[in-house]
Structure 1
Amino acid sequence: MDSWSLFILVFCKCFQWTAAQDGEIRWTYTGLAGQSEWGEHFPDCGGSSQSPVDVVTSLTKYDPTLTPVTPLGYSQHNHQPFTLLNSGHTVMVTLPEWMGLGGLPWLFSAVQLHLHWGSGGPSHGGSEHAIDGASSEAEVHIVHYNSELFPNISAAMRQKNGLAVLGILVEAGDETNPGFNNIIRYLSRIRHAEQKVLIPGFDVSSLLPQDLERYYRYNGSLTTPPCYQDVLWTVFHEKVKISKAQLFKLETILYSSKSEEMDRMLLQNNFRFTQPLNHRVIYKSFSADRGKELSSGEVTAIVVGVICGCVGLAVVVRFITKTIRFFTLLHHEREVVDSSTSSWDLLHSQRSAPAPRENSVGKSNSKKQVNSRPEPEKREEVVLSPQTEP
């Protein structure tokens, strides 16, 4: 057998391995049935409205009609257990249909949530969507179907406006995320593909960012085969953080192979590359020009700051007012004291300054000169005396 015949035989064997018994292709993220080949077996994967995408914020358009996303029943799990499944492509949590999503043109009911991640730890990517070319370490997708127009997800997933998916970007930090622990702590029970386990119901909203008002909205597709292009995407601007230990466990504990398979393959890098926009417009629910750039938490902080500032200003104004009043009263009291002084003080203050003193000799001479002056009568006698002489 020549080399060419051997290659054809190997290829056929590989193709048979990637095909399931029902004729469906067993697709993968890499290899012969990897994402670069999806379009050959799933026509919609080669369409013009595919997901995920790179959200270039400078090219997004503000839409004032986009209202905050409203989770319905996310926290009302009613102690009903959830099913945690290793599908061989991702880890998935089935959700009850009475959970839903408001703030959209229709009412959407929840179906399931799943995760995508990489393999290199922090700063090595793993999310499907990117913002301005930057990927995160992981991404959560919460899938819903249009329960107003369609009876179930099977009927909705091939129809326009049939699906709505929330995209939450996840980055690694130092603190453990309690919400994600509701999933990660049970991963060791579903290490191999097609394994599943019941887990306690939990508050699904604990996986969401705090700010549900700022997000990006566009029309796209499922990010895995069959890549149906009927998804209304909502990608939140705020990222959610998990610890590095949580990320490490997510990246290293699961296998994409079944338990009976000899060759175990770690379930890693289960993310699709970003797809071209092809003239689609990505809308955003917030605008810095109109003051909508602030989140609800930031608005609350600003309101509290303004209130504290007003209280502080009132205290300062009151202090200044009291100080002015104190000095005014003090000045008034001084005026009253000045007006009540004795007449002697007033006369003393008004009389002229005393003449400078002369020495005692001068005083005695001046007295003698005054006393030696003859009286007028005696002066007349002196003058008349010569007339009596012979």
Structure 2
Amino acid sequence: MNLFYILGSGSQWGYEGDNGPSSWHNDFPLCAGYRQSPISIRTKEAVMNNDWLSPIKIRGYISPEKLQMYLINNGHTVQINLQGAPIYITGGGLKNVYIAQQIHFHWGKTNARGSEHNIDGRYFPMEMHIVSYNTKYNNFVNALDKEGGLAVLAFMFEIGEHNSNFDRIINLIPDPGGKYSFHLKIIFECETVQMDTFDLRELLPETLDGYCHYSGSLTTPPCYESVKWFIFYETIEISRRQLNAFRQSALPDDANEPIKLFKEHFRPPQPLNGRKIYCHKKDW
């Protein structure tokens, strides 16, 4: 989970070399904690629980006049910030109401690996996170490091048919090579463009009933262990061309020339350390 635009410079850490995930704990000690994310979900070891878990519900007044969406280059990935009228997330055994704050993506160089979580050893080419905060803490910043302060809905992607619902994002992603003829909107770090507002549910699978849940952390520094994770069974289909558009996105180098840096950005799985994984309507 990438929170660059609130927590600091993207140059402080990365995914390769000396500032890669194995060294994050040097500057961010919590990254060596005991409830870190992502994890490997082993379905045979998961606890089936339909008593206190319930379907996730997403509700809220969706209107261009009330809700604003902004696409941002956050230094590591593309991210959609949500402002204005709240989108509420409830269910899943959450004790409080959560408000969606942002959406971002993790992908890899190849279709074999891109997701942060894996299911019985299977990785997916891309993973989407919808990040929300607990209204108990009044706002996103206050909730960041609090117990149960955040809830993240994670969705896996598979290569398949063209998904027109994602064109509204892809058409704003920079492509310096020009292969896809998309507009150069967020080519520089921290650059933002307002999007046309749409119903968040258009990006999601038809059902949100089936998922696995566990307690973990942000998957990027400072790795606060404040996250209630929900990993959904049903995948999202996207075409190979659309996924490649994400991979072609760019960042500037020191000379402010666009170069391709968004090749892959995922943290390896972390030890479970005795944590329980609970599944609702387990069907993997």
Same fold judged by TM-score > 0.5?
yes
Matched AA of 1:113: I
Q: How does 1:64-143 map to 2 (within 5 A)?
A: 64=50, 65-73=52-60, 76-79=62-65, 80-96=67-83, 98-103=86-91, 104-120=94-110, 122=111, 124-143=112-131
What corresponds to 1:248 in structure 2? 244
- Counting aligned pairs with the same residue, the percent is 37
* Residues 39-82 of structure 1: per-residue CA shift (max 9 Å, x gap): 11101111011111111111100112210000012x71335441
1:264: Cα distance to partner? 2.6
Q: How does 1:33-48 map to 2 (within 5 A)?
A: 33-48=19-34
1-structure distance, mates of 2:254, 2:196: 24
The residue matched to 2:19 in structure 1 has which SS?
coil
What corresponds to 1:6 in structure 2? none
Structure number with larger C-alpha Rg: 1
* Residues 278-308 of structure 1: per-residue CA shift (max 9 Å, x gap): 1111000115xxxxx59xxxxxxxxxxxxxx
The residue matched to 1:154 in structure 2 has which SS?
helix
**2:133 pairs with 1:145:** yes
**2:208 pairs with 1:212:** yes
What corresponds to 2:234 in structure 1? 238
Q: Is the 8 A contact 1:156 1:162 kept in 2?
A: yes
1-structure distance, mates of 2:257, 2:228: 40
1:256: Cα distance to partner? 3.5
What corresponds to 1:225 in structure 2? 221
**The structure with more strand, counted as a fraction of residues:** 2
The residue matched to 2:132 in structure 1 has which SS?
strand
Q: Structure 1 residues 85, 61: closer, same or farther in 2, change over 3 A?
A: same
**The structure with more helix, counted as a fraction of residues:** 1
Q: How does 1:1-390 map to 2 (within 5 A)?
A: 26-64=12-50, 65-73=52-60, 76-79=62-65, 80-96=67-83, 98-103=86-91, 104-120=94-110, 122=111, 124-147=112-135, 149-173=136-160, 175-188=161-174, 189-252=185-248, 254-258=249-253, 260-262=255-257, 264-287=259-282, 293=283
Q: What RMSD in Å do the two structures reach over aligned CA positions? A: 2.0
Question: Which has the higher relative contact order, 1 or 2, with Cα contacts under 8 A spaced 6 or more apart?
Answer: 2
- Count how many residue pairs are aligned between Structure 1 and Structure 2: 262
Per mean C-alpha deviation after superposition, the further-off stretch among 243-252 and 185-194 is 185-194
Q: Structure 1: state its 5+ residue gaps.
A: 1-21, 288-292, 295-390
2-structure distance, mates of 1:177, 1:263: 27
Q: Structure 2: state its 5+ residue gaps.
A: 1-7, 175-184
